[in-house]
Copies of this chain bind each other. A is one copy, B any other.
């Protein structure tokens, strides 16, 4: 097995450890005893997840809440291993809910999973290696994740039974993760009462409310610390309150009231749009959908409802503006949703380190706007957990950002490198850090240009197909023609830009103040439009794509000489070859696509296929 950033710790955690304090003591002792230091603990239950660290003559003392002591232990180990300073004073996580959404199906497949099959489901049942689940618990605790949603938001049978007949199995799984401070969450099917014989799932129907109340009682009796329900409703053919003429506040609140007595939370996903759009319809604009639906409901959600909003208005594209909902729902608890699974960002074949994205998003909306944070998991049964070993960084860094959303990307990347590849020299670490730090921009340069989105293969979402989504029903158009490309999302167009506060809207609305990398998200522009740096739009597209490939080739050179541990090196080099092929394919397809439309030659005379 691969031990990710925890390779300095013992390779197994005894199943006999049932409390976080016991795990903390085990880990600290294993790490510090060989270093001639002792670590002592005291639990102050009121501290919850918080902790304090002190150095003393024998070693260290950790004071913390029930799980706080565990976070403290990992912080000590991290500081020791990376040579960092001990955190001073009381440490507590910025977001109380730091969720990992696993899109695992009970047949063992994972929707958008790129690291093998499910770690806990197979053959429509829980099937797992408890040793590996404990290892997972430790990974999550060591970076700070505290909620694991076990099943796909698209609740594919028999996963609906996780809250009835399969509840004992769910409870047994929760028992394994509990010592690591990780609570479970479950995705539920809004229409579930009808599978149980009711004639409706109308949230205002008393029998439906009673059904959910009964169910909640049984669920929380079995798993008293279950974090709550994750719900994808009225989205991409999932059932929801709209079927019964009710709005999403009514739907979410009904569930919320059923589970409130037990401290459960309803995480209601705001990923709702018309997935049966007619491409001829230029009025409807998918990025507008969530704001139009939810903003008028601000203040109508119960206290234990959290509206979970993806970082951008589309769907985890490589470059989108942040969702305007984050500026518009002050009276609603929001969760910010990221996607660690590299669905549109290279399938964990291409290197794509996400901290720079998160830094941008959190800076744009402010870390206090969301009240919780979630990410779609990139984990699977692959020996190294994430397919590409560098994709482990995204899980690790996600947990760290969830604790400290003001982290700098470079700091968290260096921290992860220090833990994972401690044997590299300082120069080698720095080379790897720079490579990772720039990897998103590199990927962006060779894929869809300047915020255009959706130029990916519709089948599978890897590789280019610049018109593959163009005439489909997903609301995903670039409308390239011989004169221009893009959609006007200003007031003169679909009006999307006006969903932002005025000063932001004004910046986006003018193509001369709009950031270059979002230019084609907000504007329809002719190929000879002159960018802020004086280049034409078409030349900028060509330049970016040549540069994206060249940067990828340079990454390959860097990696070729980097003495990674052998088990990682082989995987990294093999995937790098695939990334290089992918970058070449994107470069040439995108350049050819735009050359065919625009007729423009490259200023620098590089090869663009006809």
A interface residues (Cβ-Cβ under 8 A, vs B): 279-280, 282, 458-459, 464-468, 470-471, 479-483, 585, 588-589, 592-593, 595-599, 609-610
Contact = CB atoms under 8 A, between A and B. Distances in A.
Nearest to A472: B465
B481 A471 contact: no
A280 B464 CA distance: 14
A33 to B, nearest CB: 54
Contact of A468 (B465, B482, B592): B465
A483 B599 contact: yes
Contacts of A480: 596
A456 to B, nearest CB: 12
A599 B481 CA distance: 8
Contacts of A610: 282, 479, 481
A470 B465 CA distance: 8
A471 B582 CA distance: 13
Given A280-B609, A609-B280, A471 B482 contact: no
Nearest to A468: B468
B598 A482 contact: yes
Given A480-B596, A483-B599, 19 more contacts: A280-B588, A280-B609, A458-B459, A464-B471, A465-B467, A465-B471, A466-B467, A467-B467, A467-B468, A467-B470, A468-B468, A471-B592, A481-B596, A481-B599, A481-B610, A482-B482, A482-B597, A482-B599, A597-B597
Nearest to A460: B459
Contacts of A595: 481
A477 to B, nearest CB: 11
30 contacts: A279-B589, A279-B609, A280-B588, A280-B609, A282-B610, A458-B459, A458-B468, A459-B459, A465-B468, A465-B471, A466-B467, A466-B471, A467-B467, A467-B468, A467-B470, A468-B468, A471-B585, A471-B589, A471-B593, A479-B610, A480-B596, A481-B596, A481-B597, A481-B599, A481-B610, A482-B482, A482-B596, A482-B597, A483-B599, A596-B597
Nearest to A481: B596
A480 B482 CA distance: 12
A584 to B, nearest CB: 10
Contacts of A483: 599
A589 B471 CA distance: 7
A187 B588 CA distance: 40
A471 B586 CA distance: 10
A481 B596 CA distance: 4
A483 to B, nearest CB: 7
Nearest to A459: B459
Contacts of A479: 610
A375 to B, nearest CB: 29
Contacts of A588: 280
A346 B479 CA distance: 27
A610 to B, nearest CB: 7
A599 B466 CA distance: 19
Residue with the highest number of chain B CB atoms closer than 10 Å, among A458, A466, A471, A609: A471
Contacts of A592: 471
A610 B471 CA distance: 12
Contacts of A585: 471
Contacts of A280: 588, 609
Residue with the highest number of chain B CB atoms closer than 10 Å, among A481, A595, A597: A481
A592 to B, nearest CB: 8
A197 to B, nearest CB: 30
Q: Which 6 A/B pairs are nearest by Cβ-Cβ distance?
A: A481-B596, A467-B467, A482-B482, A471-B589, A280-B609, A459-B459
Contacts of A599: 481-483
A286 to B, nearest CB: 18
Contacts of A458: 459, 468
Contacts of A589: 279, 471
Residue with the highest number of chain B CB atoms closer than 10 Å, among A465, A479, A480: A465
A506 to B, nearest CB: 28
A280 B587 CA distance: 12
A338 to B, nearest CB: 28
A22 to B, nearest CB: 49
Contacts of A482: 482, 596-599
A190 B483 CA distance: 52
A458 B458 CA distance: 10
Contacts of A598: 482
A280 B585 CA distance: 10
Contacts of A596: 480-482, 597
Nearest to A471: B589
A398 B593 CA distance: 42
A471 B459 CA distance: 13
A268 to B, nearest CB: 31
A459 to B, nearest CB: 5
A460 to B, nearest CB: 10
A465 B458 CA distance: 11
A596 B471 CA distance: 13
A609 B279 CA distance: 9
A606 to B, nearest CB: 14
A494 to B, nearest CB: 15
A115 to B, nearest CB: 24
